[in-house]
């Protein structure tokens, strides 16, 4: 049985915090920013799972050169999810929109066009951003079912966690936003 949602129950602009009991190899201890959620399903970007690729390497693959002094030299590309892993997404803040940008809530924007990549690390680009390959997607009612089965906790998204917290600490810091010590979370799913 799928739970029905209405717009007031949308998880858009929320974090999904993977419960320790999640046995899915990909989503273990992940923090996912939900970009869109409605009656048709949900789309999000995992914001705490690094790839081995640097932003510099990704940009060089599409013939965009960074200056040697760029702070993006070592910034890692994130694995945004298991769907369309060859497609790039830039989650950023600000009011500037690019050729293919979707304005989200609370000053978040997700952009998929090359023009933003050409401006990363410059005065024209966004100040705060993460680059991901792939995204996480759920069909109608799927995410609601997973939450009902204790796979995820939710909390309001925090730009500070996405853009400034060390990647390896983001899951733990999101759990703390709930007022919970992660050691208190059970590795076993259950229902009251």
Q: Which of 12-16, 71-75, 104-108 has the lowest mean pLDDT?
A: 71-75
Angle CA 27–31–35, to nearest 5: 105
The C-alpha atoms of residue 47 and residue 18 are separated, in whole angstroms, by 12
Around Cβ 5, how many Cβ atoms within 10 Å?
Answer: 17
Give the per-residue pLDDT at 11: 95
User: Greater confidence, 115 or 73?
Assistant: 115
Q: Is pLDDT at 1 greater than 80 in this prediction? A: no
**Domain boundaries of the chain, sorted by first residue:** 7-181
Per-residue pLDDT reduced to its tens digit, 123-157: 888 889 999 999 999 999 999 999 999 999 999 99
Question: What pLDDT, on the 0 to 100 scale, is given for residue 70?
Answer: 74
59-72 pLDDT per residue, tens: 989 898 877 777 77
d(Cα 44, Cα 70) in Å, to the nearest integer? 28
**How many helices and strands in the chain, by DSSP H and E?**
5, 10
**Homologous superfamily of 7-181 in CATH?**
VC0467-like (3.40.1740.10)
Q: Is 169 left (phi over 0), alpha (psi -120 to 50) or beta?
A: alpha
pTM for the full predicted model = 0.89
């Amino acid at each position: 049985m799928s739970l029905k949602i209405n717009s007031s129950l949308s998880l858009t602009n929320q974090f999904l915090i993977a419960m320790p009991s999640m046995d899915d190899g990909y989503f273990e201890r992940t923090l996912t920013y939900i970009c869109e959620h409605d009656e048709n399903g949900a789309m999000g970007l995992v914001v705490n799972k690094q790839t081995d690729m640097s932003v510099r390497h990704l940009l060089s693959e599409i013939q965009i050169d960074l200056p040697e002094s760029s702070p993006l030299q070592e910034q890692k590309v994130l694995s945004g999810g298991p769907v369309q892993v060859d497609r790039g997404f830039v989650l950023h803040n600000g009011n500037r929109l690019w050729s293919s940008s979707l304005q989200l809530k609370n000053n978040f924007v997700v952009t998929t066009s090359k023009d933003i990549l050409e401006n990363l690390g410059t005065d024209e680009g966004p100040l705060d951003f993460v680059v991901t390959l792939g995204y996480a997607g759920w069909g109608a009612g799927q995410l609601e079912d997973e939450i009902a089965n204790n796979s995820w906790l939710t909390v309001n998204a925090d730009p500070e966690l996405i853009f400034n917290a060390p990647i390896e600490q983001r899951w733990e810091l999101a759990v703390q936003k709930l007022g919970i010590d992660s050691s208190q979370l059970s590795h076993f799913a259950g229902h009251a």
